[in-house]
Chains A and B, each alone.
Chain A
Amino acid sequence: MNIDKDLVAAMATPLVLAILAEGASYGYAILKRVRELSGGDVEWTDGMLYPLLHRLERLGYVSTEWGVSPEGRRRRNYEITEAGVAQLAEQRKQWATANRTLGGLWGTNFAVAGA
């Protein structure tokens, strides 16, 4: 199944924030986690993740610091901030509302399956 581009774009922010809420991470690992979670259904152009992460940093939702990978390369690590956690909670409420609204039409199974 291929998910519509606009829907992927709308999901991107809560998805990244939610993954970071599990623990600090870096770009490649975040994308791997996205693939894992969606079973490959959410197709994401990898390069788009970084401008998104930079935007979240500018908005104060994530903080960054440079670390070193096991191979000895410079790597930028991202960590969610308190503002990011609050934003995630807010987005979660919105998605729950959307879920509930559509679920009302499509049956209760939808909400369970989508959660």
Chain B
Amino acid sequence: MSEQQVEAQIDVWRAAILKGRAVNDTDADELEGHLREQISDLESVGLSGDEAFLIAVRRLGQVDVISSEYAQEHGDRLWKQLAVPSDDDGRRRAMTAMFVFAILAAVLVQVARFCAQIPGTNASWLLRDASFFVLPVLAAYFAVVKRMPWRRTLALGLVVVLLAVAVNLFPLARGGSSEVLIGIHLPIVLWFVVGASYLGGDLRWSARRMDFIRFTGEWVIYFTLIALGGGVLMSLTAAILSPIAPDSIGQVYIWVVPSGAAGAIIVAAWLVESKKSVVENLAPVLTAIFTPLFGVMLVAAAVVYTIGGIARDFDRDLLTVFDLLLLVVLGLVVYGLSARDRTRSAGAMDVIRLVAVVAAVVLDILILVSMFARVGEFGLTGNRVAALGLNFILLVNLAVTAWLTARLVAGRVPPTRIERWQTGYLPVFVGWVLIVVLALPPLFSFA
């Protein structure tokens, strides 16, 4: 056996020992040095390279036994930690910026609260405009960290200002449905602004948009986790304060909860970015768990609705429920795609996804048909148009997704085709939320 073959065998062995993560590079160097010394000692007493390698490896012990021994001593290595950046300049800058912008968001929310308390003003604008005090701060944070060009930053800022002016110039009826609709859709518009700055203003590429979708999923998870921690903190605070100063609990809540939530929005965004390479993405993991479960639920519901029929009039609440359902299904599709290996051909997960999507589409069409069959004299209101429009947009998206997934399973189209469809559809969502915020209120006379 030649020298080269022994070298190749040593490489294979080294790769195997590094695989378990308990053994790091310097340990592997140490073990490899040991192995080589043993081999040359054995060769010097007359063994061939091949024989020497076999004996040396055997003496060193089985790879998995060594790995588990290292794992006992270095258990921490199996848990990847988020190290506070010290040497890496870019990451440190991001952390400083994160602190500054998180504090800024926290303070702005309190300023807004004070403005809303000024006597004689109508305080309902606060709920409607709340997102203006937080999400543009997040967009600015990304503009700074990602070094977005000035011109694009200014353009994006201008968009935010125009939106703010337009929405606040509307003579909205207090507590009317237009105001509620704006309150719900404005954060979504602004989230797309955040997306634009997250991508550094470069929105053209499908792969970049997919990054923003991935970011959104992870951000939701981190924010939820922080919110859970915050909930525990707040309830314990209340429990501790209640015996000594029960009156102060309300004050503490007013100060801490809005500011904490605003700051957490920035912190969660920073966490997603800095843990990107450290932790497995969670959104695709959750998607993998829930896609089959939702698939079963949707198929069962579709069967029941088909057999039983639906005796409901046009009902905005029911439509809203189905909007949410379709949104969830879309989320399952998108995050399933985001983790999909683009080079792999269709697998069982794609079939499950196809079943779930088809069931959702069938169910939604059943609902829409039965509602419209009984429409009679329903008039259009802002709320109804918003719910119906969203339903239509989601239905089109999912119907095409189902078609493409079926072709993927049949081996006719590559996986990237569905990804491009989803990322290409994002502007439709942007357009629709803009219509709801800017066009629907005037159309329905700001009711």
Contacts and interface: CB of A to CB of B under 8 A. Distances in A.
Query: Do A and B assemble together?
Result: yes
A27 B60 CA distance: 11
A50 B69 CA distance: 9
A97 interface: no
Contact of B74 (A31, A54, A71): A54
Nearest to A74: B29
A45 interface: yes
Interface stretch (B32-40, B98-106, B117-125, B270-278): B32-40
Contact of B31 (A31, A50, A55, A69): A50
Nearest to A75: B33
Contact of A74 (B33, B61, B69): B33
A46 B30 contact: no
Interface string A69-83: 101011110000000
Contacts of B69: 47-48, 51
A28 interface: yes
B27 interface: yes
Contact of B30 (A27, A31, A48, A55): A27
B65 A47 contact: yes
Interface in A2-44: 27-28, 31
B80 interface: no
A50 B72 contact: no
Contacts of B33: 27-28, 69, 73-75
A48 B66 contact: yes
Interface in B30-64: 30-31, 33-34, 36-38, 59-61
Contacts of A51: 66, 69-70, 72-74
Size range of the interface on A? 10 to 19
A76 B30 contact: yes
A27 B29 CA distance: 12
B363 to A, nearest CB: 57
A46 B61 contact: yes
Q: Which of A27, A47, A71, A75 has the most CB of B within 10 A?
A: A47
Given A51-B69, A74-B29, A46 B74 contact: no
Contacts of B27: 50, 54
A48 B61 contact: yes
B61 A47 contact: yes
Contact of A47 (B26, B37, B66): B66
Nearest to B29: A74
Interface in B1-42: 26-27, 29-31, 33-34, 36-38
A9 B75 CA distance: 20
B66 A55 contact: no
Given A28-B37, A28-B38, A47 B31 contact: yes
A45 B57 CA distance: 10
A45 B60 CA distance: 6
A6 to B, nearest CB: 16
A47 B60 contact: yes
Nearest to B37: A28
A45 B61 contact: yes
Nearest to A73: B33
A73 B31 CA distance: 12
A40 to B, nearest CB: 12
Nearest to A45: B61
Nearest to B38: A28
Contacts of A76: 26, 30
Complex A-B, nearest 8 residue pairs according to Cβ-Cβ distance, in ascending order: A47-B61, A45-B61, A47-B66, A51-B73, A51-B69, A47-B60, A46-B60, A28-B37
24 contacts: A27-B33, A28-B33, A28-B34, A28-B37, A31-B34, A45-B59, A45-B61, A45-B65, A45-B66, A46-B38, A46-B61, A48-B61, A48-B69, A50-B31, A51-B74, A54-B70, A54-B73, A54-B74, A71-B36, A73-B33, A73-B36, A74-B29, A74-B33, A75-B30
Interface of B: 26-27, 29-31, 33-34, 36-38, 59-61, 65-66, 69-70, 72-74
Given A45-B59, A46-B61, 18 more contacts: A27-B30, A27-B33, A28-B33, A45-B60, A45-B61, A45-B65, A46-B34, A46-B59, A47-B61, A48-B69, A50-B30, A50-B34, A51-B73, A54-B74, A71-B36, A73-B33, A75-B30, A76-B26
